[in-house]
Amino acid sequence: MKVITQREFRNNSAAVMDAVEAGETYHVTRNGVEIAELRPLPRRRRLTANELVERHRRLPRVDYVAMRQEADEFFGTQDRVGDVWDRTHG
């Protein structure tokens, strides 16, 4: 980990960002106090289609009756949308 001043970061931001992209971590100081950490984000691996299918298969089943009941308790049972195919009201 390297420590740089705010001024050094401002004046050399492209080089600092290149170093961060390459894996370097920086602490940025202002008036001698560390105020920020610049570090690379963890690399995320893309999942294969089979991995996505397997993850989906392992998800818990949705209890639609319980979900509807919970929504009705929270929002009430009045139909807020109405029949979208009913043309008598506009």
Q: In a structure prediction context, what are the per-residue pLDDT tens digits for the chain, which is 90 residues long?
A: 999 999 999 999 999 999 999 999 999 999 999 999 999 999 888 999 999 999 999 999 999 999 989 988 998 877 666 677 777 765
Cα 52 from Cα 84, distance rounded (Å): 34
In a domain, 72, yes or no: no
Q: How much is the pLDDT for 76?
A: 84
Report residue 82 as tokens: 């109405």
Amino acid identity of residue 67, one-letter, is M
Per-residue pLDDT, 87: 72
State the CATH number of the domain containing residue 22.
Answer: 3.40.1620
So what's the pLDDT on residue 21? 95
Residue 21, domain extent: 2-38
- 15 alpha carbon, distance to own chain's centre: 27
Q: What is the largest CA-CA distance in the chain?
A: 71
Residue 33 included in any domain: yes
- Cα 19 to the chain's mean position, in Å? 24
